[in-house]
Structure 1
Amino acid sequence: MPELVLWDIDHTLMATGGLGRELWAEAFREVTGVEMREQASVTGSTERVILRETARLHDVPYSDELFDSFASALGAVHVRRAAELRERGHALPGAAAVLARLAEQGVQQTVVTGNVREAAEVKLAVFGLDDYMQLGNGAYGQDAEERPELLRVALARSSTQAKAAVFLGDTPADVAGGLDAGVRIVAVATGRTTVDQLRGAGADVVLDGLTDTERALAAIKS
């Protein structure tokens, strides 16, 4: 069993049921005064990159100060609408069971996500997934722009060597980040990317989901 299991959040552990875009648009309008007409691609990206590209699409000047304000607003809107997220979203089938079994075996778990930290914490808490995580050791959208850097941040905070860690995610960007950071990758085809696409991206193991707890655990420790 690895010393550390790193988890992506969106479409790996949970889904927002479409609410995520609404919350994002609300925070964007709050900090820019502009109604969001379109959003830059979010798959496998981080909030900093998504904000910069979305701002460009709306001719809004981007700055680090804008991101800081946006991160605060996005976290706050997740807190305000947590009950709605609980109603419309859901933990992905089998996610809680795998997290619980790993925790029972004493495996350290945390997240590597493009979400800003407060939003990530709300997403995990509303579906009861936060109890299994050491969130202080995770890496979030405020920490870096790309997955490799995020993974290295989480490894450093967890005091774990890359070879002793496993990363679970659902996008080619997750796979590429894991390869760059030197961690083993278990990809789950629970998002918009197929099993074949994830395998082609270079994942060590690809699962079609987490519903088979024993199979998921075997993949994580193989």
Structure 2
Amino acid sequence: MNIRPEKLILWDIDGTIIATKGAGESAMNLAILETFGINGDLNAIDYSGRTDPLLGRMICDHYGLSDTPERNRAFVEAYVRNLSEILTETPATLLPGMGVLRILAQRPDCLQGLLTGNVRLGGKVKLQSVDVWQYFEFGSFADNCFDRNELAAKALEIARVDFGAEFAPDQVFVIGDTPRDVKCGRQIQAKTVAVATGKYSVNKLAEAKPDYLFRDLSDIEAFLAIIDGVAVATVYP
């Protein structure tokens, strides 16, 4: 008998599951050069938690370039191509506690997916480089999407249409490393779990008021207690 999942676990990728050692930034900078013909610097814009297509638009705005759908598409394609080449040479690394992905993937009461600003091919390249792509049933990716907050509702729709599963808000968990991940989770009234393994410190993430806050996810039992509704704390320093 098939067991319908009762909990929906939605993960960000960069800074939450993996560290790419600057591969993403390098691939973006190469894409800027190839697409726009300038030696641009991704660090010139506030890119954490943004979607890949939005970054193309922000780069155009920052450097005074015209933004067209064709140019944005070419930028994203160049980025993914360069990312694949860079990660082949220097794979990403898993962040602490990511053994939990396999645990959750094996639980019939959990449906595990991705909620990310990456386009699908970019996310796949990153997660395949650390051999965890197979642990996710689906993804709400940013292909043709400029507003990250739209991705949360999209994830619920995919779960409903593709898996016949609907979830109460308190059974949906959004895990990420930026205040924008917390804000995204709030769009669907999900439980938000912030983890300070990216660019934001514990103190900065606390300002976003996530439901739960971790320095990292090395305490897998504490994280699973949140998923199972038996957590004994909200902050795990």
Give the TM-score normalised by structure 2.
Answer: 0.85
Aligned residue for 2:23? Answer: 19
- Structure 1 residue 200: deviation in Å? 2.7
Structure 2 spans left out of the alignment, 5+ residues: 161-165, 230-237
Which structure 2 residues correspond to residues 59-74 of structure 1 after superposition, within 5 A? Answer: 59-74=64-79
Cα distance in 2 for partners of 1:207, 1:68 equals 36
Aligned length: 217
Instruction: Go from structure 1 to structure 2 and tell me whether the alpha carbon gap of 1:37 and 1:12 turns closer, same or farther (over 3 Å shift).
Output: closer
**Mean Cα displacement is larger for which, 36-45 or 198-207?**
36-45
CA contact (8 A) 1:199 1:205 kept: no
Aligned match for 1:202, one of 209, 217, 224: 209
Bigger Rg, which one: 2
Per-residue deviation at 1:158? 1.4
Please tell me the residue identity of whatever aligns with 1:24: M
Q: Percent identical across equivalent pairs?
A: 31
Partner of 2:155: 154
Cα RMSD after superposing both structures: 1.8
Letter in 2 for 1:129: V
Normalized per residue, the structure richer in helix is: 1
The structural deviation recorded for 1:25 is: 0.9
Note if 1:104 corresponds to 2:106.
yes
Corresponding residue for residue 8 of structure 2: 4
Matched, 1:33 2:37: yes
Which residue is equivalent to 2:61? 56
For structure 1, which segment, 60-69 or 34-43, has the greater mean C-alpha deviation from structure 2 after superposition?
A: 34-43
Residue among 80, 85, 99 paired with 2:85: 80
**Which residue is 1:133 aligned to?**
136
CA contact (8 A) 1:115 1:141 kept: yes
Q: Distance in 2 between matches of 1:2 and 1:202?
A: 25
User: Which one-letter code corresponds to 2:65 in the other structure?
Assistant: V
Matched, 1:175 2:182: yes
1:119 match: secondary structure = helix
Compute the TM-score of the two structures, normalised by the length of structure 1.
0.90
Displacement of 1:62 in angstroms is: 0.8
Which runs of no fewer than 5 residues in structure 1 stay unpaired? none
